Amino acid sequence: MTGAALLAAATRRLTVAGIPDAGRDARRLMAHVLKVPPGRLTLFLPEPVDPAQAASFEAMIERRASRVPVSHLTGRRLFYGREFLVTPDVLDPRPETETLIEAALSTGFDRVLDLGTGSGCILLTLLAENPQATGLGTDASAAALEVAFWNRNALRLEPRAGLNRGDWWQAVPKGERFDLIVSNPPYIAEAEMSGLAPEVREHEPRMALTDGGDGLGAYRVICAGAGAHLAPGGRLLVEIGPTQAEAVSALMRDAGLVPNVIRDLDHRNRVVLGSAATG
C-alpha cells in the first residue's frame, strides 16, 4: 500500500476511536515510522511503504486507538524547540508549560533549581537558553531521573546541570541558594483525577499528577521552604491549575514573597511568580 492509503485508513481508525486530531496523530506516527521530517511527509505519501514499516505503523495506530499517548509511542516530545526523551515514568511536557519558561527567561539568572524535574525539560531548557547559568534538578523518582540524565547528556549539559534524588527540599544541599527556583508540581486534586483524559490518567505517573489531596500539598511544601534557598531578590515560579492562583498566591505571601499571576496564551492563569525581598 502507498503511504497515502495507509494514512487515510489510519485516520479513519483513530476517528472512530474518538481520538481528537486523528489526522495529525496519524501523520506524526507515520513520519516517525518512515523516519522522515513531519514537514516533508507529503512528499513520501505517493510511494509504496515497506511491509515491515506498514506493520509497525498499523501496530502504533492500534495502540494510539487505545489511548496510548503519541509521545509514548515515539519516545519523543518537542518542547520549546527541542526534542526530549519521554517515557511513562515522566510527565509529558506540555505547551502550556512554555509560559513558565518565558517568564523565567524574562529576567537574568545565574543559578536555577527545578523541584520535581521529571524529564528535565524545564531545567534543561532554561540552561540551554542561558549559557552562563548552572542548575540543579531534583525528583523523588529514580526512574524519572534516568530520563532527565539521558536528556541532559543528549543536550550536552552535563557540566552545568546537577540531578539529585529526593523529595522536594530534601534533595537540595543545606544552605545552597538560587536566584531562580521553578517547579511544575502535581496540582490535580484527587477528586478531579477521574475527569482527566485517558492518555493522562492511565499513562502518566500518578505522583506527577496529584498529591492525593486538594492539589495544593506540593505548593505548601515549596513555599514553606523557599525562604531558606532563595537568594535576595530571587524568584520562585510555579505552574498552577487555572483555579489555583488565589490559593497559591496566598501561600507565597505567607512565605514573605510578593506574588504575581501570569496567564498563558489561552488567557488562563498558568504561573504564579513570587519575588523575594532584595535585602
Residue with cell 489531596: 213
Q: Is 182 domain-assigned?
A: yes
Question: Bridge-partner residues for 272, per DSSP?
Answer: 238, 261
Mean pLDDT, 10 residues at a time, the chain of 279 residues: 93 94 94 90 91 95 94 91 93 93 96 97 97 96 96 96 95 95 94 89 88 93 95 96 95 96 93 90
pLDDT score for 38: 84
3-state secondary structure of 116: coil
| 49 and 88 both lie in a single domain | no
3-state secondary structure of 226: helix
Please choose, from the candidates 87, 102, 89, the residue with its C-alpha nearest in 3D space to the C-alpha of residue 239: 102
| 9 and 129 both lie in a single domain | no
The dihedral built from the CA positions of residue 142, 217, 93 and 81, taken in this order, carries a sign that is negative
| 99 and 161 both lie in a single domain | yes
Residue 97: give its domain's CATH number: 3.40.50.150
pLDDT score for 279: 67
3-state secondary structure of 272: strand
Q: Is 73 domain-assigned?
A: no
How far, in Å, CA of 86 to CA of 115, rounded? 18
Q: Is 264 domain-assigned?
A: yes
Q: E strand or H helix at 83, and its extent? A: strand 82-85
Q: Is 71 domain-assigned?
A: no
Pairing of strands 76-79, 82-85: antiparallel
Q: Is 101 domain-assigned?
A: yes
Q: Is 74 domain-assigned?
A: no
Angle at CA of residue 28, ends 32 and 14, nearest 5°: 120
| 136 and 249 both lie in a single domain | yes
How far, in Å, CA of 23 to CA of 141, rounded? 35
Give how many domains the chain has, as a whole number: 2
| 15 and 107 both lie in a single domain | no
Q: Is 190 domain-assigned?
A: yes
pLDDT score for 19: 93
Which grid cell is 170? 530534601
| 254 and 203 both lie in a single domain | yes
31 half-sphere exposure, CB direction, 13 A CA radius: 16
Backbone angles phi, psi at 116, to 5 degrees: 75, 55
* 203: region left, alpha or beta (phi > 0 left; psi from -120 to 50 alpha): alpha
Domain boundary among 44, 66, 88: 66
| 270 and 136 both lie in a single domain | yes
Q: Is 138 domain-assigned?
A: yes
| 88 and 224 both lie in a single domain | yes
Question: Would you say 30 and 41 are in contact if contact means Cβ atoms under 8 Å apart?
Answer: yes
DSSP secondary structure letter of residue 120: S
Domain boundary among 41, 66, 91: 66
Question: Would you say 164 and 172 are in contact if contact means Cβ atoms under 8 Å apart?
Answer: yes
How far, in Å, CA of 33 to CA of 52, rounded? 10
Domain ranges, residue 43: 3-66
Q: How remote is the C-alpha of 47 from its chain's centroid?
A: 36
Question: Can you give the pTM of this predicted structure?
Answer: 0.88
| 91 and 52 both lie in a single domain | no
Which grid cell is 31? 513520519
| 236 and 183 both lie in a single domain | yes
Question: Bridge-partner residues for 76, per DSSP?
Answer: 85
| 39 and 138 both lie in a single domain | no
DSSP secondary structure letter of residue 38: G
Q: Which amino acid is at 103?
A: A
| 242 and 117 both lie in a single domain | yes
